[in-house]
């Protein structure tokens, strides 16, 4: 299998590159400067020159709060950049895996979101990711295979993430205030990357959800991180309203795993087990 991974220096992209290399797949991961997704000409040049079997599009503007202040940039990178990558992949005859997010939903559901439920994004980042999904569907329009993978709450190193921030505060002896009214599922990038590669192997298309198993709040996630690290800082649960982040987030963004587990013929790893494995690798 011959892959091209955008965003290969990012949280998920770096895990995808690692996992693919471990399978002895051929991987190209152009840097941001080698292939700016906003620039169609550079996408066409780089992707056509490699003509990979599949492009895994992980590059994105992912700063959810910053996107509220920079909506045009979020749309340019996420919507237009995804359209460019998809158009270039079609020209090269490459299949596409487009990475999307649980934040396409508004969080009003009371049970896990299936892949066919209507999207209803709350903020600029989420809106730009919905626009990205629409753009890649339009650009590919059946010409190459398209798999949209929705995931959420990623951690796993390679870039400063939630686990790093919690550990930094805990190691500095600080007590933390973390929101306790948003439910989702922490997902180790290593597991997400393996699932994405397995879905490619199975030649899946359409929309699939990929995440670890179970669900929790950011506050409980932080307590688990500190507990596993043996740090005794306290974590006070606070409401999203009092925390006051610029972007609204869904209060519930648990993705349904039934179709994914059926396709992969395995259960996803419980999030606490994944976190424990990751923490042991860190130390």
Catalytic amino acids?
A: 125
CA atoms within 13 A on the CB side of 54: 26
Closest to ligand NAP by CB, 10 or 112: 10
Closest to ligand NAP by CB, 129 or 272: 129
For residue 12, which of 199, 113, 150 has the smallest C-alpha distance?
Answer: 150
The contact set with ligand NAP (CB under 6 A) reads 6-7, 9-13, 32, 36-38, 58-62, 77, 81, 99, 101, 129, 151-154, 159
Cα 16–Cα 188–Cα 65 angle in degrees, nearest 5: 95
Closest to ligand NAP by CB, 13 or 250: 13
Closest to ligand NAP by CB, 144 or 185: 185
The residue number with the shortest CB distance to ligand NAP is 10
Whole-number minimum distance, CB 173 to ligand NAP, in Å?
27
The two three-digit tokens of residue 145, written as one number:
């295979």
User: How many angstroms separate the Cα of 156 from the Cα of each of 19, 136, 178, 190, 193?
Assistant: 13, 27, 19, 7, 11
Helices (H), 8-161: 11-22, 40-50, 64-69, 71-74, 81-92, 124-140
Alpha carbons 39 and 93: distance in angstroms, whole number: 19
Whole-number minimum distance, CB 18 to ligand NAP, in Å?
13
Whole-number minimum distance, CB 163 to ligand NAP, in Å?
11
């Amino acid at each position: 299998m011959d892959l091209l991974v955008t965003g290969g220096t990012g949280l998920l992209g770096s895990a995808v590159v690692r996992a693919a290399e471990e399978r002895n797949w051929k991987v190209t991961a152009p840097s941001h400067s080698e292939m700016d997704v906003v620039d169609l000409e550079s996408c066409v040049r780089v992707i056509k020159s490699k003509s990979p079997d599949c492009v895994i599009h992980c590059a994105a503007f992912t700063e959810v709060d910053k996107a509220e202040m920079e909506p045009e940039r979020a749309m340019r990178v996420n919507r237009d950049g995804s359209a460019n990558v998809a158009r270039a992949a079609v020209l090269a005859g490459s299949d596409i895996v487009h990475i999307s997010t649980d934040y396409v939903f508004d969080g009003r559901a009371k049970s896990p979101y299936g892949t066919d439920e209507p999207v209803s994004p709350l903020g600029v980042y989420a809106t730009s990711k919905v626009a990205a999904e629409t753009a890649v569907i339009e650009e590919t329009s059946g010409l190459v295979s398209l798999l949209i993978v929705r995931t959420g709450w990623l951690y796993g190193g390679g870039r400063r993430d939630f686990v790093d921030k919690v550990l930094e505060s805990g190691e500095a002896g600080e007590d933390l205030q973390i929101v306790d009214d948003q439910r989702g599922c922490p997902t180790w990038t290593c597991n997400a990357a393996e699932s994405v590669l397995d879905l490619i192997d199975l030649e899946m298309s359409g929309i699939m959800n990929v995440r670890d198993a179970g669900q929790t709040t950011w506050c409980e996630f932080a307590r688990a991180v500190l507990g596993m690290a043996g740090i005794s800082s306290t974590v006070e649960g606070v409401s999203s309203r009092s925390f006051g982040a610029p972007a609204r987030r869904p209060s519930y963004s648990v993705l349904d795993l039934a179709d994914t587990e059926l396709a992969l013929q395995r259960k996803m790893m419980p999030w606490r087990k994944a976190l424990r494995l990751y923490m042991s690798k860190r130390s």
